[in-house]
Structure formats: C-alpha cells, structure tokens
Amino acid sequence: MQHGIYYAYWEREWDGDYKRYIRKVAGLGFDILEIAAGPLPDYTDGELSDLKKCAEENGIRITVGYGPAPENNIASADPKVREHALEFYKDLFQRMEKINATLLGGAIYSCWPIDHSKPVDKKGDWERGIEGIAKLARIGLDHGIETIGMEVLNRFENHVLNTAKEGAEFVRSVRQLEPAAANVKVMLDTFHMNIEEQSIGNAIRTAGDLLGHFHTGECNRMVPGQGRTPWREIHDALQDVGYDGAVVMEPFVIPGGTVGQDIKIWRNIVEDTSEEALDRDVKEALTFQRYMLDR
Ligand SMILES: [Mn+2]
C-alpha cells in the first residue's frame, strides 16, 4: 500500500505550490501527493518538467484528483459540452504523462459540486456518463493512464454514483461498451461511505477487484484516527479484496476560500489551525493509517 495526502488540506483555494507540497509530504513520510487537475492546463512544459523532477528527487508519486467544472462535464446533456470535456481530458492526460502521473480520480463521470437547485436527470447522466467514460478510457490508454477512478460520492455532492454497488455497476457497463477500459475503476472514500453505505466493509467487498483508488478521512473530514470510522473493518475488507494500491487521506479542517465553500467547512474543525499543528496532525494520522491498514 502507498499512503498519500491531498494537498488541499493546507489550502483555501483549489491551487497551490505543488513543489512545496511534494517536499513537505516527503518530509512527513508520505509516498504520494495528490494534486488537483484544475491548475494543470495553465502549466508550461517547463513547469511540468520541474514538477516531475521535484517528485522524482523526493521519491514522491503524484496522483491527480478532479472535481470537474460544469464545462468539463463528460455527461452533460449538451453535446458541445461533452465534446469540450473530452478535449479537456485529452489535454490533461498529456500533461499528466509529462509529470509521470498515471491515476486520475474524482467525479470524472459528471461534475462537482452539482447544482442541486436544478432538477436532476440521473438516468440520462448515468447513460451519457458511461458513453463518455468509455471514450475517455481509450484516450487515457494512449497516455499511460492506468487508473481513472470513478469516485462514489454522497448524495449532497452528486447523484450519479452514491454507493459502491452503483460504482461497480457503472464500471462494468463502461467495460461492456469498451472492453479495453480496464483502466476505469471504482474509487471509494470513507467519508462518503460513512453517509451512504449500510456496511463499509461490504461496500469495499462489493467493489472487489474493480477498486482502483481509495480516499480516507473521518466522518467530519478530520484526519484518520481522530474520529469514529471503523478502521479495523476497512482493513479487513481491503485485505479480502486484495487491495494494494494508493490510500490517500483527504482531510479538510479549515474554513475559508473556495475550498471551504465547496467542502462546506463553516468552522475551525481543529482547535489549532497553524501550519505546524496541521503538519503534526497528519504525521500522526499517517502513522495511524499505516498501522491500521498496512499488512
Ligand atoms: Mn474523496
């Protein structure tokens, strides 16, 4: 298992100095830094090459997360938006290849956060999502993308995939349409599972060998170990399905900015929000996560 963290733990905007975070998480003992896809289209080739070099020098693997903007919704009812989304991902995959990143995860089948003040067309979004992801799988193969993780999200953030059962069904449908789409996988997150699943262990077993990426965090998005998530149950289920991939913690504890708004953080979740305290908390969480999930 490789253990990682999403950079946005320390940020109030969906952007950051990724080289600084590579050095930081390497110092804290992580194997992976997960970055946001959003800023990558603005990177020059020189900047991408610097980022790749920095990751190599620090022994850090980069994975990429994305909450797709509405204009990059691969399942949009508007064919022009669907086309635009495919172009966006094609460019993104080229950029990921340049930084040796082979994993993209998130609501790639849709957009995030969804505007739920408008009526939802789950069936249409589901069907168009399958078609779009089948196309995306092929484009990914051209750029060495080994995992496109379909992140199963809670009902308040998206409506397409809310349970591991739906995630597995969606991925099987994509692979039926595009047999080469072995890179399309289920992605689970303990925060979302806590809201939607009857049993977190059974949810992981339902994803089974389709599981390709895993996010961790407590019920209120604190770092692993500071809440009441059933880590032993998660360990046993990950063992049962033979999962040996990336486990990326995704804590959010500070309010403010677009991150605080999108994640709905309205208070200091931890008492001490200084960078020093945030670093200390994740360092402990990493020790905890390795202890609970490795083996
Ligand atoms: Mn997540």
pLDDT in tens, 102-127: 999 999 999 998 988 999 999 999 99
Distance 189 CA to ligand 1 centre (A): 5
CA distance 31 to 81: 36
Distance 106 CA to ligand 1 centre (A): 7
Mean pLDDT of 291-295: 92
What domains can be seen in the chain, in order of their start residue? 2-293 (3.20.20.150)
**Residues 41-80: pLDDT tens digits?**
999 999 999 999 999 999 999 999 999 999 999 999 999 9
The answer, yes or no, to whether residue 194 has pLDDT greater than 90, is yes
| Model pLDDT, residue 116 | 87
**Residues 224-259: pLDDT tens digits?**
999 999 999 999 999 999 999 999 999 999 999 999
Known catalytic membership, residue 276 = no
The answer, yes or no, to whether residue 295 has pLDDT greater than 80, is no
| Model pLDDT, residue 210 | 98
Distance 265 CA to ligand 1 centre (A): 15
| Choice among 157, 166, 197, 250 that is catalytic | 250
Known catalytic membership, residue 197 = no
Residue 202 pLDDT level (bands cut at 50, 70, 90):
very high
CA distance 104 to 140: 10
Distance 251 CA to ligand 1 centre (A): 9
Whole-structure pTM value: 0.98
| Choice among 151, 157, 166, 218 that is catalytic | 151
Distance 151 CA to ligand 1 centre (A): 7
